[in-house]
């Protein structure tokens, strides 16, 4: 595929552009970006599977979590919940279908940058292109932060250099641009080098997730007292990046397969980056997705599903089929080598 004109123009007019600018155009350009033209989470029509798209169980557990947090907050009405990266609105649909106790008070705001995905949001929610002004009691985001564009840096023999993207014949190529000495201290802060005790070896690349940091600052800033931001994602402590090649933590996906190099086929593949910890305005409380789902009642929902299936197995209806599918959904959501290995970070109580 030819390189989209917006990217071609940016690299030609501005010289090598930052990786985040490239990633932003490749994924989110409103005319040619991956998420504006074809990309989405999901099974047959999607490019990658997310917990939300595994089935209705994840939304049912989130509904339990919302009820717990609503109780803890003293049952406010309205109970304002913002979902970042709502995609086509599947989490909202499954949450509402689970009929949480907080349902009558629930005011759901769905934030999705892609217009075609936003257009598929269900009735009964308010859709936004960007985070609303607030205030909110809960801000939740599944697999948003890893999709927010990152800047990349490499430690060379002469100090840190930024990995930029430039024109190369008909295609694109990485260009290493030394960090000016005046900027070195600020870049070290953005890379959170204070959080890594071991020596960073020459040749090591690290991400600077500036847009994820900025999004988290804004999301936490929306919260009512006692409110929380809950992000489920591929988090990785900074120390665990050391010794890894960048292709272990900047990945591409297309039609459920790993894609090529991030500069190959821009706008035709998703580009994600593991989210470096620490991230956010304060240190979050972190647990595995399996622990989080366990705390909010996944096992009980599976047991209820088994019982409903057993009662109706001789003459199963749709409810029985859905109940039965909870068993395999739970296996997928709790698999420590799969979605269960994701982390959940929470800012707030």
Ligand X SMILES: C[S@@+](CC[C@H](N)C(=O)[O-])C[C@H]1O[C@@H](n2cnc3c(N)ncnc32)[C@H](O)[C@@H]1O
Please say whether the beta carbons of 92 and 65 come within 8 A: no
Cβ closest to ligand X, residue 62 vs residue 117: 117
Shortest gap between Cβ of 50 and ligand X (angstroms)? 3
Cβ closest to ligand X, residue 147 vs residue 204: 147
| Contact with ligand X (CB under 6 A) among 11, 41, 152, 219 | 41
Please say whether the beta carbons of 81 and 141 come within 8 A: no
Shortest gap between Cβ of 58 and ligand X (angstroms)? 9
How far is residue 78's CA from residue 72's CA, in Å, rounded to a whole number?
A: 15
Cβ closest to ligand X, residue 141 vs residue 155: 141
Cβ closest to ligand X, residue 59 vs residue 227: 59
Shortest gap between Cβ of 283 and ligand X (angstroms)? 23
Nearest residue (beta carbon) to ligand X: 85
What is the C-alpha R_g of the chain?
21
Shortest gap between Cβ of 96 and ligand X (angstroms)? 16
Residues from 94 through 153 that contact ligand X (CB under 6 A): 111-114, 117, 142-144, 147-148
Question: Does 235 help bind ligand X (rule: CB under 6 A)?
Answer: no
Residues from 50 through 89 that contact ligand X (CB under 6 A): 50, 52-53, 84-85, 87
| Binding residues for ligand X, total number by CB under 6 A | 18
| Contact with ligand X (CB under 6 A) among 4, 18, 22, 35 | 35
8-state DSSP, 199: P
3-state helix, strand, coil in the chain (%, to 5): 40, 25, 35
Cβ closest to ligand X, residue 77 vs residue 129: 129
CA dist list (Å): 74 to 67, 136, 137, 347, 349: 11, 14, 11, 19, 14
How far is residue 144's CA from residue 27's CA, in Å, rounded to a whole number?
A: 13
CA dist list (Å): 224 to 221, 279, 307, 348, 349: 9, 21, 39, 10, 11
The H or E element spanning position 84 is: strand 79-84
Interacting residues toward ligand X by CB under 6 A: 35, 41, 50, 52-53, 84-85, 87, 111-114, 117, 142-144, 147-148
């Amino acid at each position: 595929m030819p390189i989209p004109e917006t990217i071609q123009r940016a690299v030609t007019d501005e010289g090598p552009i930052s990786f985040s600018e490239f990633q932003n155009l490749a994924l989110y350009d409103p005319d040619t970006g991956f998420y504006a033209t074809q990309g989405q989470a999901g099974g047959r029509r999607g490019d990658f599977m997310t917990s939300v798209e595994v089935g209705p169980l994840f939304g049912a557990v989130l509904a339990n979590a919302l009820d717990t947090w609503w109780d803890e907050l003293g049952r406010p009405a309205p109970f304002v919940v913002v979902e970042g990266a709502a995609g086509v609105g599947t989490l909202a649909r499954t949450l509402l279908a689970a009929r949480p106790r907080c349902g009558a008070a629930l005011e759901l705001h769905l934030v999705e940058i892609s217009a075609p995905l936003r257009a598929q949001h269900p009735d009964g929610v308010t859709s936004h292109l960007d985070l609303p002004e607030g205030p909110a009691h809960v801000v939740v985001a599944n697999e948003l932060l890893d999709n927010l564009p990152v800047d990349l840096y490499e430690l060379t023999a002469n100090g840190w250099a930024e990995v930029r993207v430039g024109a190369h014949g008909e295609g694109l190529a990485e260009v290493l641009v030394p960090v000016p000495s005046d900027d070195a201290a600020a870049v070290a802060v953005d890379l959170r080098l204070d959080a890594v005790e071991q020596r960073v070896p020459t040749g090591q690349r690290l991400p600077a997730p500036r847009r994820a940091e900025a999004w988290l600052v804004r999301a936490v800033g929306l919260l009512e007292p006692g409110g929380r931001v809950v992000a489920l994602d591929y988090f990785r402590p900074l120390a665990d990046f050391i010794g890894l090649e960048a292709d272990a933590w900047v990945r591409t996906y297309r039609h459920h397969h790993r894609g090529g190099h991030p500069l190959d086929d821009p706008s035709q593949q998703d580009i994600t980056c593991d989210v470096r910890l620490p991230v956010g305005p304060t240190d979050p409380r972190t647990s595995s997705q399996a622990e989080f789902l366990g705390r909010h009642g996944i096992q009980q929902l599976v047991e209820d599903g088994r019982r409903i299936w057993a009662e109706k197995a001789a003459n199963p209806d749709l409810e029985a089929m859905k109940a039965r599918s909870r068993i395999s959904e739970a296996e997928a959501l709790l698999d420590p080598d799969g979605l269960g290995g994701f982390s959940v970070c929470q800012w707030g109580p």
